[in-house]
Amino acid sequence: MQRRRIIFHIDVNSAFLSWTAVKLISQGHEDIRLIPSVVSGDPSDRRSIVTAASIPAKKLGVKTAMPVTMAMKCCPELKIVQGDRSWYRECSDRFIEICRSYSPVLQQFSIDECFIDMTFRTSAKNASDVAMKLKAEIYSKLGFTVNIGIGSNKLLAKMASDFEKPDKIHELWIEDVPEKMWPLNVRDLLWVGKKTEIKLREYGLKTIGDLAATRPELLSRIIGKKFACQIHEYANGRDDSPVETEYRESKSISAERTFQKDICNARDMDRSLFKIACIVAHRLRRKGLQTSCISLFLKDKDFNVVQKQCQTAIPTDVTAVILNEARTMLNFIWDGKSPIRQIGLGLSKFTNETVIQLSLFEDPKMEYYRQWDREYDKEYENENENENKYDKNKAGSL
């Protein structure tokens, strides 16, 4: 008989907020987890949104992804703190390290979540004791709480860790599915988002139990075959995907910026394009990759998105080449005056050529461009891309 799998899903409670709190406490400040507070991008920017909210803030109606201005209406004395990416990276690494010491079969699911396969490390009976120990160790060493979901596959573990928060352990085994999972709203099922929920509701499918009882063929007609099959399996608590330990090379790199005020002239647009081209190209070179596909997208004042992509003749990591392609595409999709809210630039289809390909038709200025990139990279080797600083002396030189 096959041994029953035991999977843990470990999820940091309000990660960005908890991690910020830990740092502030170490500097002698109060614990922002205990007061109405949020983490946001740039608090001075009217367009910024809530990245994470404390429990007291949530109780007053503040939700993740809510505009900060709106959160302020819920709670005028809301404390707003700015996020700090490199600190989060550090917290995340330490968190993952502790989890890995419980089982090397670990899959990082996001910056603040991971799965570990505990099948050969504990038994179903002792699983929650082990989880308790892990949870306590993370708290004592790192100062923040986590939820741990325990189940016989990744889906059940993930669903379980979402049950009641914070600082809790929940078990969800396949035999518990009818009682603990079927009464839940379809929206609570992994990969069922807002749009899918609306479609399902049109057919009277409200709970996960409804989904489980619906024939996949019928579901296929509502949401497409592939998705339908997966959702039907999930609704029944079935998931045989393994905990993947392999590091996965990223498939795309992108950067986007939302303007404080919509942009409606070509000059400002080009400056922005220049900045984000510098950022994505820099990230590309840091990873030692070259791109063959560049995509540009714009979001207008009404949130309509247009995008265009193109393939490069030769894989490249040169900012000027990427910028040039982006400029060409911009002319295709923008009239130069309609108000634009957001701009984004993405790179994909990577190769990691160690030899720089020489083309007979190589632009004679290419060596100048590469030198320009080397200087840029030197200036920003310590991450924290400060595009504004750079902008002052270099803008317009490409």
| Pairwise CA distance, residues 152 & 169, whole Å | 15
Buried b (16+ CB within 10 A) or exposed e, 254-290: ebebbbeeebeeeeebbebbbbbbbbbbbbbbeeebb
Q: Does 112 bind DNA (CB under 7 A)?
A: yes
Q: Does 125 bind DNA (CB under 7 A)?
A: no
Exposed, middle or buried, 211 (CB in 10 Å: 0-12/13-18/19+)? buried
Shortest gap between Cβ of 19 and DNA (angstroms)? 12
> Whose Cβ is closer to DNA: residue 47's or residue 121's?
47
C-alpha torsion 227→348→113→99, nearest 10:
120
Q: Could you tell me how many residues of this chain bind DNA (CB under 7 A)?
A: 56
| Peptide bond before residue 166 is cis, with ω within 30 degrees of 0 | yes
> Whose Cβ is closer to DNA: residue 84's or residue 197's?
197
Shortest gap between Cβ of 124 and DNA (angstroms)? 25
Binding mask 11-50 for DNA (x = CB under 7 A): ----x-------------------------x----xxxx-
Shortest gap between Cβ of 31 and DNA (angstroms)? 22
Exposed, middle or buried, 140 (CB in 10 Å: 0-12/13-18/19+)? exposed
| Choice from 91, 102, 113, 330 touching DNA (CB under 7 A) | 113
| Choice from 4, 59, 70, 185 touching DNA (CB under 7 A) | 70
Q: What are the helix and strand counts (H, E) for the chain?
A: 14, 12
| Pairwise CA distance, residues 330 & 139, whole Å | 49
Query: Between residue 337 and residue 356, which ones bind DNA under the rule CB under 7 A?
Result: 341-342, 344, 348
Shortest gap between Cβ of 1 and DNA (angstroms)? 31
* Contact by Cβ (8 Å): 104, 57: no
Q: Helix or strand or coil: residue 9? A: strand
Q: Does 306 bind DNA (CB under 7 A)?
A: yes
In whole angstroms, what separates CA 379 from the centre of its chain? 27
* Phi, psi angles (nearest 5°) of residue 198: -60, -45
Which residue matches tokens 């991008």? 41
| Pairwise CA distance, residues 166 & 148, whole Å | 10
204 CB neighbour count, 10 Å cutoff: 8
* Contact by Cβ (8 Å): 273, 343: yes
* Contact by Cβ (8 Å): 165, 113: no
| Choice from 7, 212, 255, 326 touching DNA (CB under 7 A) | 255
Q: Helix or strand or coil: residue 321? A: helix
- Determine which one of 113, 171, 325, 385 is catalytic: 113
Which residue matches tokens 């929920």? 197
Query: Between residue 194 and residue 213, which ones bind DNA under the rule CB under 7 A?
Result: 194-197
Which residues, other chains included, contact 195 with Cβ-Cβ below 8 Å and sequence gap of 6+?
none
> Whose Cβ is closer to DNA: residue 6's or residue 231's?
231
Q: Is 113 a catalytic site residue? A: yes
Q: Does 139 bind DNA (CB under 7 A)?
A: no
Task: Please choose, out of 67-75, 89-97, 131-139, 360-368, the segment that lies near DNA by the rule CB under 7 A.
Answer: 67-75
Q: Does 192 bind DNA (CB under 7 A)?
A: yes
Binding mask 225-254 for DNA (x = CB under 7 A): xxx--------------------x-xxxxx
> Whose Cβ is closer to DNA: residue 2's or residue 249's?
249
Shortest gap between Cβ of 3 and DNA (angstroms)? 28
What's the one-letter identity of residue 134? L
> Whose Cβ is closer to DNA: residue 124's or residue 310's?
310
> Whose Cβ is closer to DNA: residue 154's or residue 341's?
341
Query: Between residue 264 and residue 293, which ones bind DNA under the rule CB under 7 A?
Result: 279, 283, 293
Shortest gap between Cβ of 38 and DNA (angstroms)? 12
Shortest gap between Cβ of 188 and DNA (angstroms)? 9
Q: Does 163 bind DNA (CB under 7 A)?
A: no
| Choice from 87, 109, 163, 203 touching DNA (CB under 7 A) | 109
- Retrieve residue 171's tokens: 């078990």
Which residues lie near DNA (CB under 7 A)?
15, 41, 46-49, 51, 65-67, 69-70, 73, 109-113, 190-197, 224-227, 248, 250-258, 279, 283, 293, 295, 303, 305-311, 341-342, 344, 348
Give the active site residues. 113
